[in-house]
Structure 1
Amino acid sequence: MLSNSQLTHSLLSNSPVESFSFAGREIFLKRDDLLHPAFSGNKARKFAYFLDHEFAGMTKVIGYGSAQANSLYSLSALAKLKGWLCDFYVDHIANHVRTLPTGNYAAAIANGTRVIDLSSLIAANPSLHREPKWTCQDYIEQQVLPAEPNALFVPEGGRCQYAEYGVSQLATEIETWAMQQGMSELKVFLPAGTGTTALFLNQYFVRQQIDIQVLTCAVVGGDEYLAQQFYELNPNAAEHPQILNVGKKYHFGKLYPEFYAMWQRINASDVQFELLYDPLGFMVLEKFLPQWGASPVMYIHQGGLLGNETMLPRYQRKFGKSRTTL
């Protein structure tokens, strides 16, 4: 097994940048998906602090999210490397996931993580019934952490100040690459869930007065939700990335034929992308590319490919195995 330092410094930084043809343009692809499989993409950056630093007395990491979240698997791998226990709370676990575990859920279970179904837990404990119903975050903060003094709590998707450490490293890599290429006015684009990576990237470039702009789109919740996430981590709007909108409301996790078609288009390049964030990301990118003139554009590949083990069969069942037109 790799030591923590080997994993962090050898495999969680300095991902390559490749040229990628999309919508008649050359896009530069930051291949964070090629970092260590256990910490693919943005989770490698968000969780780098935990690998690089000691947490004296900590024996457990506690997180929450969906039963197929990329952060579930990455937290399970972190706990395994650190010798910690790992508890991960979810709103519910679908029957088909329990019956035939795949993807991030199966990998996390194999790493020894306890995935705790909050709905089942509350149903079995009448004293916990209340209105409004518990959220995972409220339950952890009010019912779990007071009894877990040796536990490290990581908010959903790694949305916390600790993430700034690893994302700033990503920013320095992009800065160095742009300088080596002699580029100016570089636009960096990535789709967002909590927006943590996009926020800390843009914050770094603004504070260092570097001529690189970060743009993003809301995949979870919508533009107002994403802006709120930015403010919770940084109240200075001047340091927030620009939010772009494709012009249509999409529900996170729902299957859309245009997502599937876009995913097949971008996968034709022999680079594998994931099915939750990247399809909408590239749809937004395609819409706005003509407005950016000759400015160079970088797309950050954020990993998450393990989630395709569950998403792709769903798409194939609904739309068939080939859908090549938008």
Structure 2
Amino acid sequence: MFEEIYSPVQKITLPPFNNLFVKRDDLIDPYISGNKWRKLKYILARAKAENKTHLVTFGGAYSNHLVATAAAAARSGLKSTAFVRGEEVKNEMLLLCSLFGMQLIFTNRESYRDKHKLFELHFATNDEAYFIDEGGASPEATIGCAQIISELIENYDHIFCAAGTGTTAAGLLKGIQQQGLNTKLHIIPVLKGGSFIKDEIAKYTPLSDHLALHLDYHFGGYAKTTPQLIDFIKTFTAQTGLLLDPVYTAKMCFAIADLQKKGFIGEDDKILAIHTGGLIGLFGMEDKF
């Protein structure tokens, strides 16, 4: 299922930028979208090597990771189960999970904090079950995300990416280091208090001067928005024809525009934004628009 694939790089016309490009990982697959495809590629390979046939993972009620895991399992002939954080709800994302055959176990927030304990409680005697951490966080995931860098045929002054768990960021930094590039990697945490991302990255690859963390673009926290961010999405999409999701990519693109205004990046600098997909999350936020 996870055959080799290379997402295109698209130049975006957006004043005042002269060299703004987007790595269109959102085009890889509508459900196993963007960095989710990158992360799951080697996770599923390891599960298969260990003869595991039941993927067990974790996420919130609007998690793109859950949808991606459910879709990947269905296409691979595997079972899937997700521990969903919080009270039982119904929404578009969980509907897709269910249609792909995923069993949903709604879990209170206190119990959810110890994911390994939850896994052991339900699957300790199931030799076919394979633990996948929230967001796919794992060494295997960083290998897949590092390939984003190895696919690039041009060099860039700056690469931008939004971050939740830090796994994709770690893979990008690893890729930059492996390729010996001088590129600056700008990570936009989408959670309030996102400084922990640096520690998460350090679990997978050494920190270096390539990395810049920008903590002021969370717009209130994970899955939080403001009228300013929603207005930015509307204007950006109308100008470029490129859809953004409010949770990740919109915050990243807002940061790029704001950092240029503040003089941190130049109008002629060559910039690559990683579009990590997740666009189906738009359908859970109709009321914001």
Regarding TM over 0.5, the answer is: yes
Query: Does the alignment pair 1:167 with 2:159?
Result: no
1:58 maps to 2:52? yes
Q: Secondary structure in 2 aligned to 1:223?
A: coil
Asked if the contact 2:23–2:275 (Cα under 8 Å) also holds between the matched residues in 1, the reply is: yes
Could you say which residue in structure 2 is the equivalent of 1:253? 223
| Residues 275-295 of structure 1, C-alpha deviations (whole Å, 9 max, x = no match) | 211222122111222322232
Change (3 A) 1:286 1:68: same
Contact 1:203-1:240 within 8 A present in 2 as well? no
TM-score norm. by structure 1 comes to 0.80
Provide, for residues 244-301 of structure 1, a one-character-per-residue CA deviation record: whole Å limited to 9, x for no partner: 2337762212231111111112211211111211222122111222322232000111
The structure-2 alpha-carbon separation of the partners of 1:142 and 1:248, relative to structure 1 and needing over 3 Å to count, comes to closer
Conserved? CA contact 2:219–2:226, under 8 Å: no
Task: State the secondary structure of the residue aligned to 1:148.
Answer: coil
Which of 23, 30, 34 in structure 2 is aligned with 1:41?
Answer: 34
Shift of 1:133: 4.7
Q: Which runs of 5+ in 1 are unaligned?
A: 123-131, 317-326
Task: Find the partner of 2:193 among 222, 234, 248.
Answer: 222
| Conserved? CA contact 2:190–2:218, under 8 Å | no
TM-score by structure 2 length?
A: 0.89
Return 5+ residue gaps in structure 2 as ranges.
none
Which of the pair is proportionally richer in helix? 1
Matches of 2:126 and 2:258, distance apart in 1: 48
Matches within 5 A, 1:154-193: 154-174=132-152, 177-178=153-154, 183=155, 185-193=156-164
On the 8 A contact 1:194/1:220 being kept in 2, the answer is: no
Q: Counterparts of 1:198 and 1:239 in 2: how far apart (Å)?
A: 14
How many residues matched? Answer: 283
Cα distance per residue 1:180-229 (max 9 Å; x no partner): xxx4x521101111121121111221233122221111102423221232
Cα distance between partner residues in 2 of 1:89 and 1:262: 33
**Residue from 103, 118, 125 that aligns with 1:147:** 125
The alpha-carbon distance between structure 1 residues 24 and 75, as it changes in their structure 2 partners (threshold 3 A), is same
Compared with structure 1, are the counterparts of its residues 22 and 245 closer, same or farther at alpha carbon in structure 2 (3 Å cutoff)?
Answer: farther
SS in 2 for 1:21: strand
Give the partner amino acid of 2:204.
L
**Bigger Cα displacement from structure 2, 50-59 vs 19-28:** 50-59
Deviates more, 1:46-55 or 1:269-278: 46-55
- Is the Cα contact below 8 Å between 1:17 and 1:30 reproduced in 2? yes
The residue number in structure 2 matching 1:105 is 94
For 1:76-98, what per-residue CA distance to the aligned partner results, in whole angstroms no more than 9, with x for missing partners?
Answer: 01111221111100122454x2x
Alignment root-mean-square deviation, CA: 2.3
